[in-house]
Structure formats: C-alpha cells, structure tokens
Amino acid sequence: MLTTETLTSYHKQSSIKLFQAAKKVIPGGVTANIKNFAPYPIFMKQAHGSKLIDEDNESYIDYSLCYGALITGHGHKRIINKAQEYLTHSGTMIFGTPHALEIELAKRIITLYNGIEQVRFTNSGTEAVILAMRLAVAHTNKNKIAKFEGHYHGGINNMLASINPSKDNAGDEERPNAVFESNGIPEDERENTIVLPFNNLNATETILRENADDLAAVILEPIQGGFIPAQTEFLHGLKKLTDELNIVLIFDEVKTGFRVALGGAQSIYNIKPDLTTLGKVLGGGLPVGAVGGRKDIMMLSAASQDGDVFSVGSKSEKTAGTVFHSGTYNGHPLVMAIGLETLDMLEEHTQMASLFSQTMHLRKSLEKMYASYNIKMQTIGMGSIFNIVFTDQPIHSYRDMWKADIELRQEIDRELLSLGIYLKPLNRYSMSTVHSLADIKFTVKAHEQALNKILNKHNKKQS
C-alpha cells in the first residue's frame, strides 16, 4: 500500500514553493490537469537534449518528452536554427494569410500516410479530433460517435468517457458503460457517445450493428495509450465493418504518428482509415494538430466565397452546407517550418531504425534487470514508445491493466524522480533520437536502485 513516505520520496524545495504560489493564481496550480501528480509536480527551468533541469538545479533524463512531442529531444540545434532562419527570412511570427509552408507540409504528410489525400491544420490534437468528428457527422448525416474503452482523444465533451473507468463503474466487458470523467458535460452530448471493447471484434460488431443507423464515426487509437497495440485481425475486421455500415473510421494517431513509423500505425497495419488525426511530433515542440483523410470527406470543409460565415451578406444556406473550420493560428508558419525540419531529420538514413533499436535496447535491459529479481514485469509498446507493466499476464485492453501491480509501479516511478529519471508516474516512456547508451545504462541502474530501496523498505516492515 502506498504510504506518505512513498509519496514524498523526492523533496524539491523550489517546486514546493512554486506550486503553492501557482495554486493562488491558477486553479489547482497547473494549466493542464495532466501535468499534476502527487504529492506535487516538479517545476523545470531548462532543458537540453535528453535532459531536464528543475528549479533546484537537479538534472533528469527525460522520458516524458512533453508527452512524446519532442522526438529530437530538447532544443536540438537544427530546430533552433530553423526557427531563427524562418524569423529572419519572414520578418514576422505569423502572416495571418495562406503561405507556401502549409502546402509543403501537407504534401509531406500525404506522401507518408496511406489514408491521407488532403490535410487541414489545427493547433492541437484535441482540435484535430473535433474537426474529424464534425466532418464525419456531415458526411454521414448521423449524430453519434463510438470510442473505445481506455482510449483518450483530448478534452472534448463527448470523448471524456471511459478513459480510466473503475471496476465498479465500467460495466460488462463486452458491453462497457459510458463512464464520463468530467463535470460540465451536457446530457445530450453524453447520449451521443457509445463505448466499445478494444480488441474484441465480436462484441464490437454487435454494438456497431445495433447502432449503425445513428453512428457517424468510430474513433480509436490504433495503439491504445501509445503502448497497447491493436490486434491485426481486429483492425482489419473493424475497417470492413465500418465500410459496410457507412461509419467513418477515424485513427487518432496523435501519439503514434511518426513515433511507431513515419507513416504511423496505419502503415504498419496496412489500413487506410477514412480520417486521421495527428499532433505532437508533427510540431517539433510547438503547438500543432492536423486532420487528413479521404478527399470527398475533407472537401466538406472547403471554404467558398459566397458562404463565408465571417462575411456580411454571405449566403447562409451555403454557410450551413460547409463544415466550419477556422482558427487564427491554424497552419502557423513557424510551426510548419519546424514540422518540416523535424520530418527532414527523421527521414534521414537509419535515423528511425537507430531510434527504434535504442528503444528496444532499453526495454530488454529493463526486463532483464527485473527478471533477475524475480519481479513479474514486461514492457509493452511499438517503435519509440512503450510502457512498463508489472504482470506477466497478456495485455490487450484497458481492463487487462487491472491485472498489473499499479502500486509497485507508482512506488518505482516516484523513487526514480529522486534518482534523476523524469516521467509522470504511470505514464508511458517516449524515446528521442538524442537518448544515448549512457542514458540507458543510467536509467537501468536507477531502476535497480529504486527497486532495492522499495524491497528493503517492505522487508523492514515485515520484520
């Protein structure tokens, strides 16, 4: 059982003071709920390569990497130079008009992603999901959206359902309840969300057929949480079903895009989803999102001069017939420039292969170390992202994670924070192109130190 001692295994005086100050002016002390964790989040002030430096000048090897966004690490010289080059050349942060870099990055995405024929840019993965769902509703003239239990698609009203439902509320394994995990969601939006069981094709098919007349889209992470892969037969069966039932299939590849393969999970599974959402890596550390997919669906958002919602005297019947999508910062030229530079770096010879090799080396080294202590542990993931799960049982869905020793994982993660390894407790590991063999060796040693400290603590309690 977690104790107060465990929760305070790290002591960061400056972070404590800053967190108390933040709570006076920011609700809960953080500007994104995901950044908070017990007993308090650690405040950082600098970062270089694979390292973070906190307000107490202590260094960490970073495996969060802004929740996977920084695939080339912190402050890569080429990224910094590209930003300076863009600003010097353009003379401004943003034009507020169309520009050539939008076209260039859209073309690159289309080249890499099998299921993408046209692209629209947004400012986040959440915004991309909002647009994808709106397009699906317009295309099908149906209102409901189906998502899978355990999958996260951003802070959107109807998507904040069954991300981490408890055993008491989750319902039947083959017919999960829609458990909403935020206040402030209108009842009518709750009624338009259907929850499906991941990696269970038979049960999913039953629910889809029952609701086919109302379902506009099925959205999923092809690799749940970035680390639990879909079974190949499941995804191909799902694609066949959605095609048959006139349901738009949306792959949320915000986490997996460019991380499990340059062409995302869809290139690995050889599936063309109707729509794809991207983010994180695509911005190279700057805010970005994108929606891409079939031309006939994407063209529903095409602007027309006589149907412009912002123009006085526009024809409202044409405005109503267009899927509205706008945003002051959409296609921000600095973001596009950094995105292109990031993809240039990833497409260089052996870059991705080396990144994946380093990731697997870390995974196997950790598994070997824990096995030497007879601890049941496995790493699960694909490409450059994975998670550590303390069980030897197969993990194919959210509910399978209930088999794992979550308390041990939390204890390990909090001890690691005191040993110079940064990761929000229980989160997945993301690797970068700048993590070194020395980083990996240090990380494995830190895990062993953390494990020994926890084992010794438990032994003392039992004696």
Asked if 364 is an active-site residue, the reply is no
Q: Which amino acid is at 142?
A: K
Contact status, residue 262 vs residue 112, Cβ threshold 8 Å: yes
Q: Which amino acid is at 177?
A: N
C-alpha 36, offset from chain centre: 17
Cα–Cα nearest to 403, from 425, 384, 378, 428 = 378
Helix axes 351-372, 437-462, angle to 10 degrees: 20
How many CB atoms within 10 Å of residue 383? Answer: 23
Residue 431 three-state SS:
coil
Choosing from 40, 152, 269, 429, the catalytic residue is 152
The DSSP letter of residue 31 is S
Choosing from 239, 255, 272, 280, the catalytic residue is 280
Choosing from 252, 274, 400, 413, the catalytic residue is 252
Q: Is the peptide bond before 39 cis (omega within 30 degrees of 0)?
A: yes
Contact status, residue 207 vs residue 174, Cβ threshold 8 Å: no
Cα–Cα nearest to 268, from 354, 382, 394 = 382
Cα–Cα nearest to 153, from 189, 124, 116 = 124
Asked if 457 is an active-site residue, the reply is no
* Two structure tokens written together for 414: 């909090």
Contact status, residue 147 vs residue 198, Cβ threshold 8 Å: no
Asked if 142 is an active-site residue, the reply is no
Cα–Cα nearest to 121, from 266, 346, 344, 326 = 326
Residues labelled catalytic: 152, 252, 280
